[in-house]
Chain A
């Protein structure tokens, strides 16, 4: 009778499949850039220097080899990660937006679920990535429209110097956690192949203090939180001549997890489960000449998701398939003017018993952009993108940016940009049965951003980078699901969200012979409020959105000597409201992790022993209401490397 429980089945699916769109954190330490022989990554050729971007380089990514994307982003960027804990769903919130406003691309190809419009970061092992870049706000329109919060690009790259590389690692940790990884790469300066395999599993049966089931808190063991994940990624790179570059990549992964109950609910053994597997493939050809760059990508993505709940009698299977093709062209008209243009097409097909019939979406997008250096220190960028969904034209997306180097010999930049953006409703928003509404409007975003970035070094031993960004973004027709007139949940263009904030970062690095210290810190202030009342009683107006922390910060200090490394990282997540009228909230928390490692190197071989202690002060906290998180946890890993590079010229 009451919508909520009456339609428990649907709601549960919705909650599980769609409502995880509630917001999520993080920041980056920029280490020294490793210059590679040819720096070729994925598709795009636009530099977008006027837009805020965080680049996480391969040496940082490598430190997370047994961990996943949510932890990497959470500790190195301004993203807020909303996580149910190890093995549980992890989604992001960028600048106060919801999970479906962050687009995740794999070497330039959108891999968000077309049903939900979001991606579970816990399913991306960091060991499968070489580099990660995060575009905040409008910078994301370089690759796609619709990422009203921003985008995360996962990058795989070849190392042309490599001849043979083998890596093996095994980790054992608290709560019966074990993680295995193997990778091998071989080739020469024209061909490279890399194969990576991983398998992670955990009982995840940590002990926590349950304060909710009785008057006196009781120690309980977490049940139904076990998970296992395994996958393979194969990459081939071919460079038949210096101006042709061919890439083929294949990624298969299978994941199984039990979904634990909130601590107010008595666990029922193995009741709620999610199994999913996906296959992602892409082929890319890039051609360079003196003035022209051509970049083409085709991709095929297949996703299967099975959600089951025994008590509720749900056993739901969902399959999606996407075929993508895109061409990007870049042309240097004059030395100071660069023109870019591209066209892309996606065809998505969804089979699910949750829709009345299979759904499909055809999406075409085309863009044109110009980048001009007016003076050596002044660059402007103009861009326009046009999207067409199933033959229906979405308004034009314009964007403009400026990048000024303020002082002649100092690397200090002032950047500003302004942009529009539109996000089409997800396929669940349109076709979920019942409730889905094909007539929903697209969400409309307007954003502006100002940044000052500074980078410098002194004496060749100290390098530093710092930056501050202020932004303002407004999203109209924000889609939210709510019970409607006919008794079931339905999406509607309900809210108008204004998000404003400041993001700052600082990184320092001191390098001496055989000794280095680096420090990095990020801070974000986010004010994201709903501006539009749903009725006269609505108290959510001008209140912070749920699960968006007003303040968040992270910092990390790392000391390296020959062989030894000590890293201490700290993160602060401010209080998060859990009711839209801000009457209820989860308190802030501060987490600290410690990592100690020792590496022994002999010739081409290297062995590494690493001890990682998570939540070292055993803080009792909740990232999501009534979902307990583990206290101090230990993870011990051993890694072996064999690496043979091309012979160095003397």
Chain B
């Protein structure tokens, strides 16, 4: 009996030992495409937000000449993380400005080699970057209730313009800056960049989330109607000169949450997301009832190539894995798709 016991114990020990050895697993390296693009034009930058607090935001680059997707280009070139929730990117001549929302900073990129040449910090919750002159730029902010004015010579915040409300997308039209008061708001603020003050505001529908200019010099504003469906969503056409609301197009469902108003390069056709991709000529008199593209996917973001008119739409899938970019022809036929990174949020075309 005693011998049996010892045998048993030995067996157990052996088993435990084997399991321990199995524990020393093999670890392969992160499978990233290690080559980096030779040039950054012509191409499309895809800003992948990553997970909130996850620090895994990244930039993908689609080379239009090679038709090839390069992922994690910021990390590969600069040998460090981009940060938490990159939100938007603006290309100004030879420089790119990547607004990293939760890291509260802007990375200034040399567009020839994508090397970060500077970091602008001191923001609260920055969203978008817009140059208003050769030496100054505005940065909108979700929570600070102000616009930060950045000096582009030394990359510091020189002053802030109090708005008292959340600010989002910005557009410079003629000599005025139009700023959407998106989160919890229903206004378009108008700032005179020379005096740096709010000179007017236009009341729209709750939560204007995106805006574009058309070929007729009209401003189009898409409003979601609010996070909690406070109001029926709609699209407004505004004359930026007189600041008059010329048309209000309403959606037919209170629960709809339309977003991402875009326009093609010709400035004659609008696109937006509303549980499918919708196309609307600027001459239309009502919102189309049928989408141009409807799939089982819930698209996260879209962008329109200003030259080819090709529609870029992203699918974040489960928000915890590499997202996908689908390309559709202007008429809505699927062309191809590419893997990008976690939560592909915006498209920036470098033509």
CA distance A211 to B210 in the complex (A): 36
- Contact B105–A266 (Cβ < 8 Å): yes
A525 to B168, CA, bound (A): 48
| Other-chain residue from B121, B209, B228 in contact with A434 (beta carbon distance below 8 A) | B228
- Chain B 253-288, CB within 8 Å of chain A: the 1/0 string? 001110110000000000000010000000000000
Q: Mark A578-595, 1 if CB is under 8 A from B, else 0.
A: 111101110110000000
Given A8-B142, A525-B19, A588-B25, A264-B52 contact (CB < 8 Å): no
A336 and B9 alpha carbons, distance in the complex (Å): 31
Chain B residues near A638 (CB-CB < 8 A): none
A190 interface residue (CB < 8 Å to B): no
- Which residues of A lie under 8 Å from residue B195 when comparing CB positions? none
**Complexed CA–CA distance, A454 and B54 (Å):** 44
Q: Tell me whether A563 is interfacial, beta carbon within 8 Å.
A: no
Scan A430-450; emit 1 where CB is below 8 A from any B CB, else 0: 000110000000000000000
Whether A574 and B25, one on each chain, are in contact in the complex, defined by CB atoms closer than 8 angstroms, is: yes
A262 and B318: CB pair below 8 A? no
* CB closest residue in chain B, given A543: B321
Among A129-137, A236-244, A484-492, A600-608, the stretch that binds chain B is A484-492
Report A-chain residues with C-beta under 8 Å of the C-beta of B318.
Answer: 480, 482, 494, 534, 538, 540, 580
Query: CB of A646 within 8 A of chain B?
Result: no
Please indicate the chain A residues that have their CB under 8 angstroms from the CB of B259 in the complex: 1, 487
Asked if A583 and B31 sit within 8 Å, CB to CB, the answer is yes
Measured between beta carbons, the chain A residues less than 8 angstroms from B127 are 5
Chain A, Cβ-Cβ closest to B256: A486
The binding surface of chain B is classed by DSSP as: loop
B104-A312 in contact (CB<8A): no
Q: What distance in Å separates the Cβ of B152 from its nearest Cβ neighbour in chain A?
A: 21
The answer to whether B27 has its CB under 8 Å from any CB of chain A is yes
Which of B4, B53, B79, B228 lies at the interface centre, i.e. has the most chain A CB atoms within 10 A of its CB? B53
Query: A484 touching B298 by the CB < 8 A rule?
Result: yes
Pair A263/B143 contact, Cβ less than 8 Å: no
Q: Is the CB of B80 within 8 A of A7?
A: no
Please, how many residues of chain B have a CB less than 8 angstroms from a CB on the other chain? 79
At the interface with chain B, which of A101-109, A194-202, A283-291, A407-415?
A407-415
When A534-B318, A539-B322, A583-B322 are in contact, do A212 and B16 touch as well, CB less than 8 Å?
Answer: no
Asked whether B5 lies within 8 Å of A265 as measured between CB atoms, the reply is: no
| CB atoms of B80 and A213 under 8 A apart | yes
- The answer to whether A454 and B12 touch across the interface, beta carbons within 8 angstroms, is yes
Q: A11-B52, A587-B27 are known contacts. Are A504 and B15 too (CB-CB below 8 A)?
A: yes
Determine if B143 and A312 form an interchain contact, defined as CB atoms under 8 angstroms apart. Answer: yes
Tell me, in angstroms, the Cα distance from A134 to B318 when the chains sit together: 32
Complex-state Cα separation, A580 to B319, whole angstroms:
9
Contact (Cβ within 8 A) A535 B296? yes
Contacts of A521 in B (CB 8 A): 16, 20
Tell me the total A-B contact number using a CB cutoff of 8 A: 214
* A358 at interface, CB cutoff 8 A: no
Q: Does A641 contact B (CB under 8 A)?
A: no
Contact call A4/B52, Cβ cutoff below 8 A: yes
Question: Are the C-beta atoms of B83 and A265 separated by less than 8 Å?
Answer: yes
Q: B residues 15-44 with Cβ under 8 Å of A?
A: 15-16, 19-20, 22-23, 25, 27, 30-31
- Establish whether residues B143 and A585, one from each chain, have CB atoms under 8 Å apart when the complex forms: no
Contact B83 A264 (CB under 8 A): yes
- B25: shortest Cβ distance to chain A, in Å? 6
- Of B22, B30, B224, B319, the most chain A CB neighbours within 10 A belong to B319
8 Å CB contact of A5 from B19, B85, B121, B320:
B85
Are A262's CB and B53's CB within 8 A? yes
**Interface presence of B151 (CB below 8 A):** no
B-contacting residues, A225-279, CB 8 Å? 262-266, 268
Q: How far is the CA of A584 from the CA of B72 in the complex (A)?
A: 12
Tell me if B333 counts as interface (CB < 8 A to partner A).
Answer: no
Given known A313-B143, A537-B317, contact A2–B49 (CB-CB < 8 A) = yes
Task: Identify the closest chain B residue to A309 (Cβ).
Answer: B143
Instruction: Scan A77-89; emit 1 where CB is below 8 A from any B CB, else 0.
Output: 0000000000000
Chain A residue at minimal CB-CB distance from B254 = A486
**A502 close to B (CB within 8 Å):** yes
Q: Check: B148 CB closer than 8 A to any chain A CB.
A: no
Asked if A5 meets B101 with Cβ closer than 8 Å, knowing A486-B229, A551-B23, A581-B322, the reply is yes
Supposing A504-B19, A539-B322 touch, asked if A410 and B256 sit within 8 A by C-beta, the answer is: no
- Distance of B287 from chain A, by nearest CB (Å): 17
Pick from B5, B81, B301: contact of A410, CB below 8 A: B5
Whether B56 and A578, one on each chain, are in contact in the complex, defined by CB atoms closer than 8 angstroms, is yes
Cα–Cα, bound, A265→B320 (Å) = 20
Tell me the dominant secondary structure on chain A's binding face.
loop
A265 in contact with B102 (CB, 8 Å): yes
Contact check, A537 vs B297: say whether CB atoms are below 8 A apart. yes
Q: In the complex, what residues of B have CB within 8 A of residue A395's CB?
A: none
B227 & A553 in contact (Cβ 8 Å cutoff): no
Q: Does B324 contact A (CB under 8 A)?
A: yes
Q: Which B133-180 residues have a C-beta within 8 angstroms of A?
A: 142-144, 168-169
With an 8 A cutoff between CB atoms, is A6 at the interface? yes
Residues of B within 8 A of A587 (CB): 27
B182 within 8 A of A: yes
In the assembly, what is the distance between CA of A626 and CA of B83, in Å?
Answer: 10
Please name all residues of chain B whose beta carbon is closer than 8 Å to the beta carbon of A537 when the two chains form the complex. 297, 315, 317, 324, 337
B1 CB to closest chain A CB (Å) equals: 6
Query: How far, in whole Å, are A518 and B314 apart by their CA atoms in the complex?
Result: 57
Residue in B30, B168, B228 whose CB lies within 8 Å of A1: B168
Which residue of A5, A264, A488, A494 is within 8 Å of B55 (Cβ)? A264
Give chain B residues whose Cβ lies under 8 Å from the Cβ of A466.
9, 12-13, 16
| Contact of B205 with A by CB under 8 A | no
Q: Is residue B350 within 8 Å, beta carbon to beta carbon, of the partner chain?
A: no
- Tell me which residues from 97 to 131 in chain B have a Cβ below 8 Å from any Cβ of chain A: 101-105, 121, 124-125, 127
Query: Are A5 and B321 closer than 8 Å at their CB atoms?
Result: no
Residue A468 lies at the interface, judged by CB distance under 8 Å to chain B = yes
Shortest CB–CB separation between residue A626 and chain B, in angstroms? 4
| Bound CA–CA A483/B227 (angstroms) | 12
- Contact residues, B48-84 vs A (CB, 8 A): 49, 52-56, 78-81, 83-84
Residues in A with CB closer than 8 Å to B183 are: 6
Q: Judging by beta carbons under 8 Å apart, are A546 and B1 in contact? A: no
Q: Let me know if B224 and A538 touch, CB within 8 A.
A: no
> Are B12 and A214 interface neighbours, CB within 8 A?
no
Q: Is B191 an interface residue (CB 8 A)?
A: no
| Cα(A626)–Cα(B324), bound, Å | 25
Least CB distance, A231 to chain B, in whole angstroms: 29
Known contacts A454-B12, A485-B275; 8 additional CB pairs below 8 A are A1-B209, A1-B259, A1-B260, A264-B103, A488-B227, A535-B297, A553-B19, A625-B56
A-B contact pairs, 22 of them (CB 8 A): A2-B345, A4-B319, A5-B87, A7-B227, A10-B227, A11-B52, A15-B52, A213-B80, A215-B79, A215-B80, A454-B12, A483-B316, A487-B224, A487-B257, A488-B227, A506-B16, A523-B23, A537-B297, A539-B317, A551-B23, A553-B20, A574-B25
- Hey, which bits of chain A sit against chain B, CB under 8 A? 1-8, 10-12, 15, 211-215, 262-266, 268, 311-313, 407, 409-410, 412, 433-434, 454, 456, 458, 464, 466-468, 480, 482-488, 494, 502, 504-506, 521, 523, 525, 534-540, 546, 550-553, 572, 574-575, 578-581, 583-585, 587-588, 625-626
Q: Closest 3 interchain pairs by CB?
A: A487-B257, A581-B321, A466-B12
